[in-house]
């Protein structure tokens, strides 16, 4: 094992999976000067990712976060590809964002283990699975850990670094240095925990907000208003859940309601289901707890009711 590896040694990242998270992770790395291969099996996903990355980079320039030249250069550092062997052969670090199925993740890492050089560090962006669930399948467990991003990484710039029991300490140290290198605040978990750190807290907040609404204590807008008014945040839990997507919120809530046999969680899941049944998926289809692009909570005077 190369124990000399530092964040500077990671010049090229392979992002596997070009969905929402993979796209944003790829762009975040590119914004900090890294070359990125963005791999997906779906040509449509790659084309959509390429398009979205250009749109995001252009919006950074429009909002003055970057010069137009910097934005163009950052987007150009992301190379969408369907050639996994070529991309794997040059990767210093892999960030995997495929669906949350440990068997699928294990198969992909096993394939990457054959294709990548020995130096390549493997990371999963899973937010619900533990790295130990598929560490052995990676074929290089000592060079594997979770590096879990939040969206969008240029604003919500915190990453969980979660090792499993066989991750080498120097790999944890490398991932901490790498996180700083790409503008992220690393939170190192002392041991595995399926809720990670921030997500465990956000889930608790969202669950309490859903319970208040499901039990009819207060309506969605008043619940967000109470949170925003005291915490002085521009968004409350229902606005955040609209960003996450109501299908995702329902899936997680339904899973735990079933797993724990908890009636309160079941009522929360049913409350979200009611919105989904009326075609309200959240921000992504323009209708969730609020209507977009001009949700009530963002309007002047919202706090005053």
DSSP E strand stretches across the chain = 12-16, 35-39, 78-81, 93-96, 121-124, 144-148, 158-162, 185-188
Per CB under 8 A, 177 contacts a copy of itself: no
Nearest-approach distance from CB 125 to a copy of itself, in angstroms:
15
Nearest-approach distance from CB 130 to a copy of itself, in angstroms:
12
Pairing of strands 35-39, 185-188: unpaired
For residue 222, is the peptide bond before it cis, meaning its omega torsion is within 30 degrees of 0?
no
- Binding to a copy of itself in span 203-232, by CB under 8 A: 203-205, 207-209, 211-212, 215-219, 222-223, 225-227, 229-232
Per CB under 8 A, 148 contacts a copy of itself: no
Distance CA(209)–CA(217), nearest Å, equals 10
Per CB under 8 A, 105 contacts a copy of itself: no
10 Å CB burial of residue 16 (0-12, 13-18, 19+) is: buried
Query: Among 25-33, 96-104, 114-122, 193-201, which window interacts with a copy of itself (CB under 8 A)?
Result: 193-201
Per CB under 8 A, 156 contacts a copy of itself: yes
Per CB under 8 A, 63 contacts a copy of itself: no
Nearer to a copy of itself, 89 or 185 (CB): 185
Distance CA(242)–CA(225), nearest Å, equals 15
36 and 16 in contact (C-beta within 8 Å)?
no
Residues found near a copy of itself in the complex (CB under 8 A): 150, 156-158, 160, 180, 185-191, 193, 195, 197-198, 200-201, 203-205, 207-209, 211-212, 215-219, 222-223, 225-227, 229-233, 237, 303-305
């Amino acid at each position: 094992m190369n124990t000399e590896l530092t964040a500077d040694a990671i010049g090229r990242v392979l992002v596997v999976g070009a969905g929402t998270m993979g796209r944003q992770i790829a762009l975040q790395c590119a914004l900090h000067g890294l070359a990125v291969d963005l791999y997906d099996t779906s040509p449509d996903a790659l084309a959509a990712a390429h398009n979205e990355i250009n749109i995001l980079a252009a919006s950074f320039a429009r909002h003055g976060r970057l010069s137009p030249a910097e934005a163009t250069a950052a987007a150009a550092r992301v190379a969408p590809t369907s050639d996994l062997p070529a991309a794997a052969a040059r990767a210093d670090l892999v960030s995997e964002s495929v669906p949350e199925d440990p068997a699928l993740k294990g198969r992909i890492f096993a394939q990457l283990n054959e294709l990548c050089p020995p130096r390549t560090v493997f990371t999963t962006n899973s937010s619900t699975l533990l790295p130990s669930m598929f560490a052995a399948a990676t074929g290089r467990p000592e060079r594997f850990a979770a590096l879990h991003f939040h969206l969008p990484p240029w604003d919500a710039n915190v990453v969980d670094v979660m090792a499993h029991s066989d991750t080498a300490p120097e790999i944890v140290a490398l991932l901490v240095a790498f996180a700083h290198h790409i503008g992220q605040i690393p939170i190192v978990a002392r041991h595995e925990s399926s809720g990670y750190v921030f997500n465990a807290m956000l889930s608790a907040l969202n669950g309490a907000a859903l319970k208040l609404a499901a039990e009819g204590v207060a309506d969605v807008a008043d619940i967000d208003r109470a949170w925003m008014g005291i915490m002085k945040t521009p968004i409350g839990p229902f606005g955040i859940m609209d960003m996450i997507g109501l299908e995702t919120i329902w899936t997680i809530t339904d899973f735990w309601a079933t797993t724990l046999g908890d009636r309160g969680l079941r009522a929360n899941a049913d409350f979200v289901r009611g919105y989904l049944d009326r075609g309200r998926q959240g921000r992504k289809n323009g209708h969730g707890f609020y209507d977009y692009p001009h949700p009530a909570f963002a309007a002047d005077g919202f706090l005053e009711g």
